[in-house]
Amino acid sequence: MTDARQRSTMTTGLRAELRIDAAAECPVAAFSERAGAEFRDVTWTGDGGTVVEEFRGDASDADPPDVDRVFEYRNESVYQIERTGDGRCPCEVIEGLNVPTGDVRAADGSLYVTVHLPSADRVREVIERLHDRGFDASVQGLCRTVGAADESAATFVDRDTLTERQAEVVETAYEMGYFEYPRATNAERVAAELDIHPSTLAEHLATAQAKLLDQIVG
């Protein structure tokens, strides 16, 4: 298994941060939930079916028996967890799609994984594969990478500016092809899927798009 923090060499494409609820399958995510702490710089290496995960943060003075504190510096520690490399960890699922990953962190039982992809279709493919494997996964932020010569044109879109309902409306409309040209569906069908009135759909979409455009244009 390769290091999880391999760097992408693409000069154009998309950088997306994925949120994956993974406490049931990922010991680092589970530890973040138990400890009430955020852990950063999550990496992993494997040999012979055994995987060693390493990460840093500040949990507390008391560590559970399955977590080794291997180094301490000021208010932070470096931890290691050993697990079986059975391919069920969400990061291994992403690696199985040959997707380059960047930073990986864990907080409140969720993993936040940065991936580098050439198109939105590949982002959707990764999300769908994670859903197929039973993970609740979503895109938290999206940034188009345009190369070192024009880094000022890169834009980061923060999904958390949307309410849960607004995000659901946008995702449903997107998945049903409402934003395609020509459109694969219409507002009435999207509204019916969400069990809301078309005027309510229009209001949610307008508000959500305004929030996202404020980030892009502003």
Nearest residue to 215 via CA among 138, 179, 144, 161 = 161
Between 193 and 4, name the one with better pLDDT. Answer: 193
pLDDT computed for residue 112 by the predictor: 94
Nearest residue to 17 via CA among 85, 101, 75 = 101
C-beta separation of 80 from 68 below 8 A: yes
**Burial (CB count within 10 angstroms: exposed 0-12, middle 13-18, buried 19+), residue 198:** middle
Nearest-5° Cα angle at 98, 92 to 101: 70
What's the whole-model pTM score? 0.63
pLDDT computed for residue 82 by the predictor: 87
Q: What's the CATH fold of domain 162-217? A: Arc Repressor Mutant, subunit A (1.10.10)
Spatial separation of the C-alpha atoms in residues 25 and 181, rounded to whole Å:
39
Q: In what order do the strands lie in the sheet with 76-84?
A: 68-73, 76-84, 50-57, 39-47, 101-107, 110-117, 13-21, 136-145, 156-158
Q: Average the pLDDT over each of 70-84, 126-140, 166-180 and give the range with the smallest value.
A: 70-84
Spatial separation of the C-alpha atoms in residues 133 and 182, rounded to whole Å:
32
Between 46 and 20, name the one with better pLDDT. Answer: 20
Nearest residue to 93 via CA among 38, 18, 40 = 18
**Burial (CB count within 10 angstroms: exposed 0-12, middle 13-18, buried 19+), residue 107:** middle
Mean pLDDT over the full length of the chain: 81
- Read off φ and ψ for residue 16, nearest 5 degrees: -125, 140
Any idea where the domains of the chain sit in the sequence?
A: 13-156, 162-217
C-beta separation of 27 from 95 below 8 A: no
Mean pLDDT for 179-186 is 78
